[in-house]
Structure 1
Amino acid sequence: MADLTKQGGIGDFLARQGILIAFVVFMVGFSVANARFIDPDNIMGVVRSSAIMGVMALGVTFVVISGNLDLSVGSMMSFSTIVVLDLHDKIGPALAIPAMFALTLCLGAFIGFLVGYLKLNSLIVTLGMLSAIHGLTLTWSGGKNMDIADKEGTWFKVFGQGDALGIPVPILLFALLAAVLGIMLAKTPFGRKVYAVGGNATAATFSGIRRARVVFTCYLLSAFCVATAGLIQASRSLGSQNTVGQGLELEVLAAVILGGASLMGGSGTIFKTVIGVLILGFIQNGLLLVGLQFYVQFVVTWVIIILAVWLDIAAKRGKLWSLIA
């Protein structure tokens, strides 16, 4: 049986750097299969289209590292998008944007309260909130899709359609958030508390860390990122279906897992989450360029997730495989 416990062993290397190796392999493989894959315009387009999912994944990374899950982010993104589009024509974008952020943060605070302070199971809570927020979105919109009346004259479109120095604004927002949250997670006392709570909540509590407050804050950060993603989505299309975020929660969680964040909590980084997001984006793009149907990406993504989870568990138990659990 393969032993992962030796310092510098292949298993340890795969557990730590496997995501980067996979990223390089996918890029090289798809580049050989179709030269258009490495075209700068194609690469920029993939990163831009991945920015919305990526922004959401940044917040979920904090939640997962703290030892919890958030399956409500897809429905919450639909809610944010619909709310900001609806309020745009009623009170103007200058007020609609902060109002949307405030409402979305309230949803995140409610989830954080249930999971952090009431200590309810995060899977059950967020799965229930997925349906509840979807119902709230349909109620707000009256079951209808939303569109901005004056699509040409609004400055609101800059968040999804604008660019600065030749770089699309969605990519800049994604990069800025990744940098800020990456520093917060890796270099601040709060980041160390997140790792501590996810690694061993009981030990963290006895060390004087307020677990409930840390978990609550993680869900607030996740809600903030979702609101930012909703802003980008609404600005990009200046209109939206009320189910625009449906199913995104699974893609976001897949990206976080691919980035090496353990479902058991206590491990993961923002940088590798970004890599996980890009891997999913380039897989979808690469499969289409080589002529495969879009639904094949779901099977490929499933295989990659299984491999990522397997390596994570193998690293924890010290073996790649074992006949005994």
Structure 2
Amino acid sequence: MQTDLKAFLRRHGLLTGFGVFLIGVALSADGFVTPGNIFDVLRQVSITGVMAIGVTFVVITGRLDLSVGSMLTLLTVVAVDQHNVAGPGMAIALTLAAGIGIGMVNGVLVGFVGLNALIVTLAMLSFLQGLVLFYSGGSNVNVQNAQTTWFAVFGRRDLFGVPVPVLIFLMTAIAAAFLLNRTIFGRQVFAVGGNETAARFSGIAARWTVFWAYVLSGLTTAIAAIIMGSRVMGAQNTIGQGYELTVLAGVILGGTSLLGGSGSIWRTVLGITMLGFIQNGLLLLGYPYYVQWLVTWAVIILAVWVDLGAKRGRILA
């Protein structure tokens, strides 16, 4: 019994601890459990949640993708600008293509060239920040004909009483969970993250697996950018700033190991949603905005510590 409890705490202790904290916030913050606040949080979480789903694939392979925040900014600017130039249909197509393209570049550099994922994605983050300023000329972009365009459906409308962004988040999670748990590719993702050398010897194309994981990360970030542009009906040059840390914190809060080899789409959904409600609760309790970032950093540091402790326990066992 004691051994089972220790194993549970090693695997789910972080999520359980923040769950208890969230209950405390719910009991203390006025208006926290109202339908209006819940739907507002879910609308916001749908953006980071869709991004986190793609990043989960990358992290399970034992890599990181810290470029998604700047990627979100660039793709949102592209979506809004191209909406004004070529219409919503072309804007969506170009945004998805651009996201896939950026993911392919990351995948080639990390998967095939063999460069360090942290360095590559940090460099991509900086490059995309510069590209945003070049593309936009340093100016904010707003959607034209905002009152009549069907582009608003993705971020501002409800379907059967449920916000469309939440439905997109849910459908993305269902598709990703099937891909990760029910396909050969999903098994390869786990194998590469668990022991890449053994995966290669067993005939798995590890480089291609890593490549496609980054492509998925780019694709989901593009979907999130469409939601963001539709919701805000515009784009600022800093609209995605810091999102990479929020996404990473949500992924690891959901139990995906930074060491690779284990993870779950549905636990990521739970982790990013819980993080969103915690941040919202802190604001309702009157804490300054920067406290949210302290919480995000705490999640990351604690997750690294828990991961290393779990690995040490497996080695000693």
C-alpha contact (below 8 Å) 1:114/1:125 kept by paired residues? yes
1:203 correspondence with 2:198: yes
Superposed, 1:12-51 pairs within 5 Å as 12-51=7-46
**Aligned position for 1:52:** 47
Aligned partner of 2:106 among 100, 108, 111: 111
Superposed, 1:121-270 pairs within 5 Å as 121-270=116-265
Cα drift, residue 172 of structure 1: 0.5
For residues 133 and 301 of structure 1, the distance between their equivalents in structure 2, rounded to whole angstroms, comes to 23
For residues 265 and 253 of structure 2, the distance between their equivalents in structure 1, rounded to whole angstroms, comes to 12
Cα drift, residue 178 of structure 1: 0.8
C-alpha contact (below 8 Å) 1:75/1:245 kept by paired residues? yes
1:312 correspondence with 2:310: no
For residues 255 and 24 of structure 1, the distance between their equivalents in structure 2, rounded to whole angstroms, comes to 13
Unaligned runs of 5+ in 2: none
User: What is the identity, as a one-letter code, of the residue corresponding to 2:232?
Assistant: S
DSSP 3-state at the match of 1:158: helix
Unaligned runs of 5+ in 1: 1-5
Residue correspondences, number: 315
Cα drift, residue 88 of structure 1: 0.8
Superposed, 1:65-80 pairs within 5 Å as 65-80=60-75
User: What is the identity, as a one-letter code, of the residue corresponding to 2:214?
Assistant: Y
Cα drift, residue 115 of structure 1: 0.7
DSSP 3-state at the match of 1:313: helix
User: What is the identity, as a one-letter code, of the residue corresponding to 1:308?
Assistant: A
Cα drift, residue 26 of structure 1: 2.8
For residues 95 and 303 of structure 1, the distance between their equivalents in structure 2, rounded to whole angstroms, comes to 41
**Aligned position for 1:3:** none
For residues 38 and 26 of structure 1, the distance between their equivalents in structure 2, rounded to whole angstroms, comes to 15
Structure 1 runs (4+) greater than 4 angstroms displaced: none
DSSP 3-state at the match of 2:309: helix
DSSP 3-state at the match of 1:150: coil
C-alpha contact (below 8 Å) 1:260/1:312 kept by paired residues? no
Partner deviation per Cα, 1:112-159 (whole Å, 9 max, x = no partner): 111111111111111111111111121111221111121111110100
Using the TM superposition, name which of 39-48 and 267-276 deviates more. Answer: 39-48
DSSP 3-state at the match of 1:9: helix
Using the TM superposition, name which of 61-70 and 142-151 deviates more. Answer: 142-151
Cα drift, residue 76 of structure 1: 0.7
**Aligned position for 1:91:** 86
Partner deviation per Cα, 1:255-284 (whole Å, 9 max, x = no partner): 111111111111111111111111211111
C-alpha contact (below 8 Å) 1:19/1:272 kept by paired residues? no
Cα drift, residue 247 of structure 1: 1.4
For normalisation by structure 2, the TM-score amounts to 0.95
For normalisation by structure 1, the TM-score amounts to 0.92
DSSP 3-state at the match of 1:235: helix
Cα drift, residue 53 of structure 1: 0.8
